[in-house]
Structure 1
């Protein structure tokens, strides 16, 4: 993970210094296309609805929406300047920031309330039973973080298990094939993993309320240079939630198709992903001392990343959270 972050920081510098092509970046204040990434997670599939229903255009913003089969690739794309914004978790944002990336959270898409899971084969009934076992997980990302939280709560550490580093889709497939004892995965890949007869979730994000918030994260300079486009993206999000509320069957059909699952499977994810309204966004951005407050979570996650040796030092938090656009949303 440290090598990845160092490489990402170096590539960011190369991207910034190595191009003089006027097409590579629009001038500050001038209209520009927003390159936005998202990947397979129930809290981010609404972006597909926004695209198919013309809601970006309704809000006067031109968007190049990019879907990533690999969540890690989307993180890399934002850190290396190949995206202007990405849908990603708070802890993965902090990991990138610790490597030198300048990123700003402008919107809470959702909180994971069960759709991130540690799933184990039959005979493993608790996290404590993982001692000496092999767990497949996408290293350095949110479900690795969930695994570490669960191990810590059970009185264990990462040294008590063997971590097999695989992309999340490959990790779920390896577990289904019986190649590992447990897997850390997020929906919709949890559906794949739970296809193993007798398997079950032994820890989920519901056990750690507020620990896994998901966001729309921009490259920090883009926010300063193109606030109108950022505002339009935030406005589009809330318009999309309204459209989904008014057209639930059609919305599920769009999102399930993008996720490669049935409508029924997609509906089963509802309780495990709590989509945030504007009011919930405003509350989350308020400074406070509870897991519901983003600044509290950011400090907690930053410390955990260092303690778990995922990063060398706590990332700077100045400029990380910007509630301006949520406050201005209608």
Structure 2
């Protein structure tokens, strides 16, 4: 699942960009940079999040081929590894959260967001044991969370809303799957986790979700990010990927049962369990993409949300350097999607 310790990501990025320099970074990316629709193969990464499983459907139903994309779809068991792979140029694109992309960019990675896959609308959760009934009740309690990960961000948002800070709890840094297991085993009082690890945590008797991403609309957008130089040199490829995504969403709508079966299998869950994730992840339509890319002053607009995330990351010490937002968002491709 989405699992990326901030420290490990920054180390990988800084090693690629600062320590070894531009030459090493270019060498790292040279094997994948020469890609195009129907040309050399490119590598697209994704990991276990409901909003990214449609890529598996695209591959199995030949929708990449339909759009003349020669692609290696690379599934990462560890979201951490997928983030690092894009940051260092080992892959050409990846599906990832906005705050994780901003963390990578602040470390020197050159990435461009060309598509919004989804928004988390409940599948990220802060879960507590029996007897803890509010965020305020977490004061002094042990809370397991993966530092720098999206649910660390969610925890900080929830604490701020309760007029608290991270200093008011005993933060227990732990990989998300291990954190959910530790909570289930009674080793900590609360946990920040996303699906399906959230369900693992909720299997502890008496446990409950104190806060979810549904309470912070627009705070956790997930998207497709490509290497910035690839977007510039191969715009036809970027367009083909975006077209494939919307072809896939249409195919899923028209073949719901088969699509759910494919996505559940990729996620290692049953069809029944996967269906329960639906409401917690909102797949964006083309119009929602167009609206999100349009500059605005509400959380529904990517530029506004990005600035909010940057301000928050700086104020909480998640990053020491504010990333530049110049060129981060490119709406060219969602604007050019053929209207069906």
TM-score by length of 2: 0.93
Between the aligned partners of 1:3 and 1:65, the Cα distance in structure 2 is 24
Q: Does 1:39 align with 2:47?
A: yes
* Deviation readout 1:132-152 (Å, 9 max, x if unpaired): 111111211111100100011
1:92 and 2:100 are equivalent in the alignment: yes
2:31 partner SS: coil
Give yes or no for the alignment of 1:286 onto 2:286: no
Give 1:223 deviation, angstroms.
0.7
C-alpha distance in structure 1 between counterparts of 2:147 and 2:275, whole Å:
28
Q: Does 1:254 align with 2:262?
A: yes
Give the aligned partner of residue 336 of structure 2. 328
Aligned to 2:23: 17
Aligned partner of 1:8 among 10, 13, 37: 13
- SS of alignment partner, residue 110 of structure 1: strand
Q: Which runs of 5+ in 1 are unaligned?
A: none
Residues 91-141 of structure 1: CA deviation (Å, up to 9, x unaligned): 111111111111111000001111110011111111111111111112111
Superposed, 1:1-330 pairs within 5 Å as 1=6, 4-12=9-17, 14=20, 16-18=22-24, 24-27=31-34, 31-330=39-338
* Cα deviations by residue, 1:234-266 (Å, 9 ceiling, x for unpaired): 111001100100111111111111111111111
DSSP-derived class of the 1:24 partner: helix
- Relative to structure 2, which stretch is displaced further, 146-155 or 167-176? 167-176
Give the ranges of 4+ consecutive aligned residues of structure 1 lying more than 2 Å apart after TM superposition. Answer: 1-4, 12-16, 18-23, 25-32
Q: CA RMSD in A?
A: 1.8
* Structure 1 residues 104 and 266: CA distance shift in structure 2, 3 A: same
**1:10 shift after superposition:** 2.2
Distance in 1 separating the partners of 2:325 and 2:79: 23
1:140-187: CA deviation from partner (whole Å, max 9, x where unpaired): 111110010001111111111122222211111111111111111111
Q: Tell me the CA shift for residue 22 of structure 1.
A: 10
Against the structure 1 CA distance between its residues 23 and 114, is the aligned structure 2 distance closer, same or farther, given a 3 Å change threshold? closer
- CA apart distance, 1:204: 0.3
Distance verdict in 2 for CA 1:58–1:16, change over 3 Å: farther
For residue 3 of structure 1, report the CA deviation from its aligned partner.
6.5
Cα distance in structure 2, aligned partners of 1:230 and 1:209? 28
- Aligned pair in 2 of structure 1 residues 216, 3: CA closer, same or farther (>3 Å)? closer
Matched residues in 1 for 2:28 and 2:312: separation? 41
Q: TM-score, normalised by structure 1?
A: 0.95
In 1, the alpha carbon distance for the partners of 2:326 and 2:248 equals: 30
Note if contact 2:129-2:208 (Cα within 8 Å) is conserved in structure 1.
yes
Q: Does the CA-based 8 Å contact 1:209-1:291 persist in structure 2? A: yes
Seen in structure 2, the aligned counterparts of structure 1 residues 22 and 274 have a Cα distance that, compared at 3 Å, is: closer
Aligned equivalents of 1:21, 1:82: Cα separation in 2: 6
Say if 1:29 and 1:225, in contact at 8 Å, map to a contact too. Answer: no
CA distance in 1, matches of 2:45, 2:111: 14
Which residues of structure 2 form unaligned runs of 5+?
Answer: 1-5
Cα shift at 1:208: 0.5
